[in-house]
Amino acid sequence: MKRLKALAATTASVPITLFGLVLVTFLIGRVMPIDPVLAIVGDRAPADVVAAARLELGLDRPLYVQFWIYLGKLAVGDLGRSVMTSHTVWEDIKRFFPATMELATVAIIFAAGIGIPLGVLAAVKQGSRVDHVIRVVCLAGHSLPIFVLALLSLLVFYATLHWAPGPGRQDILFDDQVPSITNFLTVDALLARDWEVLRDAVAHLIQPAAVLAYFAMAFIARMTRAFMLDALAGEYVITARAKGLSAARVIWKHAFGNIAVRLITIMALTYAGLLEGAVVTETVFSWPGLGQYLTISLLNADMNAVLGATLVVGITYLAFNLLADMLYKLLDPRVS
């Protein structure tokens, strides 16, 4: 009962947070030194044309009226039209966001699959050379800027060793070869049973996903190590060892089983961070995802696209924060 009340309280805070996110996004669009009217009609448009466009867009009205109109459009899913693509922003997001999700999903699988065992090993071997090496590797993953890792990866594996294909999501030869059903290229290639496109898509996916995964793996490994050190020092682990249980059983069933719920929440937040922070990686690798769409839109002063993409990223992060909180409260009986 207590856990249900806690979940209800968490859920009740969502509308307030969402309203704050929408308000901040709206205000950012109004205070930025970019005139959306000039982006539409051009810098050399006559003054009367600029004034007419400003009147049509409602930008001549008071700020609170503009915000009310903005809320009304959001309520029906209207994010405006992109000047850059001439499509609605919602159509662009449906086309570009799956590419970001595909990249972040593969990255979190790599990160968790490598980071969790490394974190457990570092905790079990605390103070040893193995522990120090793992900590240095994780520190490098946290310290190096992600654009440096991305550029080094391209330099070594693409330009020098020729092990990886070039930037982009697929080779230009395979453009539009499979129908876009889900907009997840690997899934669409599987559905079309086009193994050549699938191999090419996976080859292009591995390098940017590995760069993102290294950054996420460093965080997951460090958190796993910290959680495991705390668990291994617990009385229940000491008791399990005193009973003569095997080391593997003590480590994985008793200690790791106790931290699994916390790790789930950490991975949910890390996944949200990957979706949010893929902007630099997508730009370096020319990955046609939401991050690159946001960057190009900003450079082209396409404010409808910038605000729409920013809002989607914010809502996604909020949703995963809520999911992590709910999972923690549902799965951990110690949380009331």
| Shared-domain flag, residues 29 and 106 | no
Can you tell me whether residue 87 is helix, strand or coil?
A: coil
Predicted pLDDT of residue 109: 94
Can you tell me whether residue 183 is helix, strand or coil?
A: coil
101: left (phi over 0), alpha (psi -120 to 50) or beta: alpha
CA–CA separation, 122 and 225 (whole Å): 6
100 in Cβ contact with 291 (< 8 Å): yes
CA–CA separation, 175 and 209 (whole Å): 21
The number of CA neighbours under 13 Å toward the Cβ of 242 is 6
Tell me whether residue 206 is in a domain: yes
CA–CA separation, 266 and 119 (whole Å): 13
Tell me whether residue 317 is in a domain: yes
Tell me whether residue 4 is in a domain: no
Among residues 278, 320, 245, the alpha carbon closest in space to that of 98 is found at: 278
| Shared-domain flag, residues 148 and 185 | yes
CA–CA separation, 211 and 204 (whole Å): 12
Predicted pLDDT of residue 44: 74
Can you tell me whether residue 224 is helix, strand or coil?
A: helix
Tell me whether residue 119 is in a domain: yes
| Shared-domain flag, residues 59 and 199 | no
- Total count of domains within the chain: 2
12 by Cβ neighbours in 10 Å (0-12 / 13-18 / 19+) ranks as: exposed
| Shared-domain flag, residues 109 and 36 | no
Instruction: Report the predicted TM-score, pTM, of the whole model to 2 decimal places.
Output: 0.85
Per-residue pLDDT of the chain (336 residues; tens, 9 = 90+): 565 665 566 666 778 888 888 888 888 777 776 667 776 777 777 877 778 877 777 777 888 888 888 888 888 888 888 878 888 999 999 989 999 999 999 999 999 999 999 999 999 999 899 999 999 999 988 888 888 888 899 999 998 888 888 888 988 888 888 888 888 999 999 999 999 999 999 999 999 999 999 989 999 999 999 999 998 888 888 888 888 888 888 888 888 888 888 898 888 889 988 887 678 888 889 899 988 888 888 888 788 888 888 888 888 888 888 887 777 777 665 554
Among residues 75, 109, 142, the one where a domain terminates is 75
| Shared-domain flag, residues 100 and 237 | yes
CATH number (domain holding residue 179)? 1.10.3720.10
Q: Looking at this protein, which amino acid is placed at residue 32?
A: M
Q: What residues contact 287, with CB distance under 8 A and at least 6 apart?
A: 99, 100, 103, 167, 168, 169, 208, 278, 281
CA–CA separation, 334 and 33 (whole Å): 50
Q: Which domain holds residue 170?
A: 89-331
| Shared-domain flag, residues 143 and 235 | yes
Predicted pLDDT of residue 204: 93
221 in Cβ contact with 203 (< 8 Å): no
| Shared-domain flag, residues 157 and 39 | no
189 by Cβ neighbours in 10 Å (0-12 / 13-18 / 19+) ranks as: buried
